Amino acid sequence: MAPPPLLEVKNLRVEFPTRRGTLLALDDISFDIAPGEVLGVVGESGAGKSLTGAAIIGLLDPPGRIASGEIRLAGQRIDNLPYEKMRQLRGRRIGAIFQDPLTSLNPLYTIGRQLVETIQTHLPVDAGEARARAIRLLQETGIPAAEQRIDQYPHQFSGGMRQRVVIALALAAEPQLIVADEPTTALDVSIQAQIIALLKRLCREHGAAIMLVTHDMGVIAETCDRVAVLYAGRVAEIGPVQDVIHRPRHPYTAGLMGSIPAMDEDRERLLQIDGAMPRLNAIPAGCAFNPRCPQVMARCRSERPELVDAGATRAACWLVHEAVSS
Amino acid sequence: MIPAAADMKALVQVEDLAKTFDVSGPWLNRVVERKPRQFVHAVDGVSFSIPKGQTLALVGESGCGKSTVARLLVGLYAPTRGSVHFGGHDTAKLKGAELRSLRRRMQMIFQDPYASLNPRWKVLDIVGEPLREHGLAQGGDALRDQVGELLRSVGLAAADCVKFPHQFSGGQRQRISIARALATEPEFLVCDEPTSALDVSVQAQVLNIMQDLQHRQGLTYLFISHNLAVVRHVADEVGVMYLGRLVEQAPKKSLFSQPRHPYTRMLLDAIPDIHMSGRARTPVQGEVPNPLNPPQGCAFHPRCPHANARCSSERPALRTIAGIRVACHAVEEGRI
């Protein structure tokens, strides 16, 4: 029997009440992450991937709120925790890494002070031990001369080095889960490879699971065990990374894969998905992808497909439903 | 020696192009703090040529000077040294009406479609501006027709010309930028990261449109990008830049199958690819050095696995070896 999931997200709905009606940003999202697993979450801008991460760490920007559904961490519900409880849990059991390493560090404090503060907030250690721990973390993340650099300010670090500091911060209290929201998007390719390798190694060593939010399929392919493809706030397809990339079942996933220029094959033209992702106030009835889908059927325009098992992956598409039932 | 000099078919020819920015502190600070003037050599001695109807891509990491080259070519910056020849004319020597007519023949597409369109103008005015500016449209009706035609050529509707930029998505805005660039019927388009701000499915739409336009109108592109997979899709010839210098230039096929310069090899190893799952990338050591204080000799030597004493003292020149231009002592000596 499989180990119980570390993180369970069930029928999560996030909505934004506005003057012109309520916008449904996440619509019935369900997935789980096993201990030590790396789950990728991909999708185009506006698909709701960052919002999913924000909902899990309890940092939804108001007026956004969780309308229904539940989030469980190791069996315990965390979506309805009071603010103070959530604050203790955040950092201690769930670490977060954001896209821009400059804005996620306080420019007025040395990185040592920020690390020591994080460590002492969550772990019962004295200042000297916290500092020793901070230096050890910086060394683990590959920052040279950590003993000296710990007393420097964020502006004295380059972008790649800052992201290492942010990773050290996220791992400071030994969390079970890291939510990494586009951790390498702001970095150059040569640095990106270093950071991804580092994140993977450290999480393996510390036994932490990762939810990796990114729009870069290349990063997903080399990092993740499983991947969830989001479209217009819904899960279009979820499954092992190899199956989703090479044998996509949902037409959107297939289009997404075909539109990526590949390094090892020549294509005269890229596959293109016409149109654009619908706005939140104009999500079409039925399957949200139906206006752009090349294989659209009458049923797609009226009825919304549920996720259904399709071989190794699960996809929300009437074509898959029909293939499965026949 | 500039190998491109003899190539008469070249539409664009760049020789020893350099741009230096003065980043010194204010005069008073320099005097009080006894600091010298400081210069960034953003582009330092870059030469290349682009034959008519071809695409040259420039790749490199942030700060390598690729966008500066783009701006130098279209005349948004004046070069500190070197020259740009366009269709046989030295662009620095042209003035007045001649320069205007030259401007008409080259246009630029910028990276950020949210910042490059005036939010207070309607699409008709945005796309029609170059037509008015160059006197290419007689009267309002003709202008409207021409703008409608341009919008249709990039896959938008003629009726879209009464809308404002905020009514369009990122991909549609980038098409408006392309329509605006095409308005003067240019021969040469400088595209500075035209798809970096777009999602992959939209990127595919824009790249396909650019490709169709090239086939239909015989356009010549300078395509700037940091995304090697995109470059591999669009380019005929690829130039790799590092800290303001061209370190390798080769036809696409040989660059991707047989990279010569250690930096090119490193870049190719570093990119993630959806088809290489499981295979670990070779993380590169080190980071791009501070351009204010570039290393002596070959700028890449502190990160290079093949560097020796010569690399840290003597700057390698760009030499043509077996049809590929590469600036590396190790390649030249046959060490790698």
Q: Identify the CATH number of the domain in which residue A84 sits.
A: 3.40.50.300
If asked whether residues A279 and A136 sit together in one domain, one would say no
B15's tokens: 């020789």
Residues 6 or more apart whose CB falls under 8 angstroms from that of B224 comprise B57, B58, B59, B66, B67, B69, B70, B190, B191, B192, B193
pLDDT band at B2 (very low <50, low <70, confident <90, very high): very low
pLDDT tens across B302-313, in order?
888 888 999 999
Q: What is the mean pLDDT of residues B19-47?
A: 89
Query: Do the domain assignments include residue A45?
Result: yes
In the block, residue with structure tokens 């390094």? A263
Residue A2's pLDDT is 62
Say if strands A209-213 and A38-42 run parallel, antiparallel, or are unpaired: parallel
Task: Compare CB distances from B207 to A256, A258, A270 and report the shortest one's residue.
Answer: A270
If asked whether residues A56 and A199 sit together in one domain, one would say yes
**Spatial separation of the C-alpha atoms in residues A12 and A68, rounded to whole Å:** 6
Query: Do the domain assignments include residue A2?
Result: no
Q: What is the mean pLDDT of residues A32-53?
A: 90
CATH code: domain of residue B143: 3.40.50.300
- Please judge whether A44 and B199 are an interchain contact, meaning their C-beta atoms are less than 8 angstroms apart: yes
Query: Do the domain assignments include residue B180?
Result: yes
Residue B69's pLDDT is 94
**Overall number of domains in chain A:** 2
**Spatial separation of the C-alpha atoms in residues B218 and A256, rounded to whole Å:** 29
**Spatial separation of the C-alpha atoms in residues B81 and B79, rounded to whole Å:** 5
Please give the helix or strand (H or E) that residue B89 lies within, else none.
strand B89-90
**Spatial separation of the C-alpha atoms in residues B37 and A171, rounded to whole Å:** 43
Residues 6 or more apart whose CB falls under 8 angstroms from that of B270 comprise A189, A190, A192, A193, B281, B282, B283, B284
Asked whether the ipTM of the predicted complex exceeds the cut of 0.95, the reply is no
**Spatial separation of the C-alpha atoms in residues A196 and B284, rounded to whole Å:** 12
If asked whether residues A220 and A237 sit together in one domain, one would say no
pLDDT band at A274 (very low <50, low <70, confident <90, very high): confident
If asked whether residues A112 and A236 sit together in one domain, one would say no
What is the domain range of residue B192?
3-23+40-332
What is the domain range of residue A48?
7-224
Residue B275 pLDDT exceeds 70: no
E strand segments, chain A: 7-18, 21-33, 38-42, 65-73, 76-77, 94-97, 177-181, 209-213, 226-231, 234-240, 308-310, 313-315
DSSP state of B66: H
**Spatial separation of the C-alpha atoms in residues A208 and A6, rounded to whole Å:** 10
Residue B284's pLDDT is 66
Q: Which of B274, B288, B292 to mutate to test the interface with A (most CBs of A within 10 A)?
A: B274
Residue B43's pLDDT is 93
Q: Is B272:A185 a contact under the CB 8 Å cutoff?
A: no
Which residues of chain B have a CB within 8 Å of the CB of A192? 270, 272
**Spatial separation of the C-alpha atoms in residues B51 and A22, rounded to whole Å:** 55
Which residues of chain B have a CB within 8 Å of the CB of A188? 61-62, 226, 288
A247's tokens: 């044998």
Residue A206 pLDDT exceeds 70: yes
Residue B130's pLDDT is 92
Query: Do the domain assignments include residue B30?
Result: no
Closest chain B C-alpha to A219 CA, distance in angstroms: 6
- Please judge whether A255 and B201 are an interchain contact, meaning their C-beta atoms are less than 8 angstroms apart: yes
Which of A224, A248, A283 is where one domain is finished? A224
Work out the widest C-alpha separation in chain A, in whole angstroms.
67
If asked whether residues A174 and A254 sit together in one domain, one would say no
If asked whether residues A175 and A253 sit together in one domain, one would say no
Decide: helix, strand or coil at residue B238. strand
If asked whether residues A242 and A163 sit together in one domain, one would say no
Q: What is the mean pLDDT of residues A212-220?
A: 88
Q: Is B183:B151 a contact under the CB 8 Å cutoff?
A: no
**Spatial separation of the C-alpha atoms in residues A303 and B292, rounded to whole Å:** 60
pLDDT tens across A243-267, in order?
999 899 999 999 988 888 877 777 7
Q: Output the pTM of the full model.
A: 0.83
pLDDT band at B280 (very low <50, low <70, confident <90, very high): low
pLDDT band at B62 (very low <50, low <70, confident <90, very high): confident
- Please judge whether A188 and B201 are an interchain contact, meaning their C-beta atoms are less than 8 angstroms apart: no
Closest chain A C-alpha to B123 CA, distance in angstroms: 19
Query: Of A228 and B227, which is predicted with more confidence?
Result: A228
Query: Do the domain assignments include residue B262?
Result: yes
Task: Give the DSSP letter string of A48-90.
Answer: SHHHHHHHHTT-PPTT-EEEEEEEEETTEE-TT--HHHHHHHH
Percent of chain B with pLDDT over 90: 46
Residue B276's pLDDT is 56
Q: Is B327:B246 a contact under the CB 8 Å cutoff?
A: yes
Decide: helix, strand or coil at residue B272. coil
Residue B167 sits at the chain A interface (C-beta within 8 Å): no
If asked whether residues A27 and A119 sit together in one domain, one would say yes
Residue B8 pLDDT exceeds 70: no
Residue B99 pLDDT exceeds 90: no
**Spatial separation of the C-alpha atoms in residues A203 and A248, rounded to whole Å:** 28
If asked whether residues A50 and A195 sit together in one domain, one would say yes
Cα Rg, chain B, nearest whole Å: 21
Residue A201's pLDDT is 86
**Overall number of domains in chain B:** 1
Q: Is B284:A193 a contact under the CB 8 Å cutoff?
A: yes
Q: Which of A272, A277, A281 to mutate to test the interface with B (most CBs of B within 10 A)?
A: A272
Residue A56 pLDDT exceeds 50: yes
Decide: helix, strand or coil at residue A122. helix
Neighbours of B216 (CB within 10 A): 9
Task: Compare CB distances from A190 to B201, B207, B284 and report the shortest one's residue.
Answer: B284
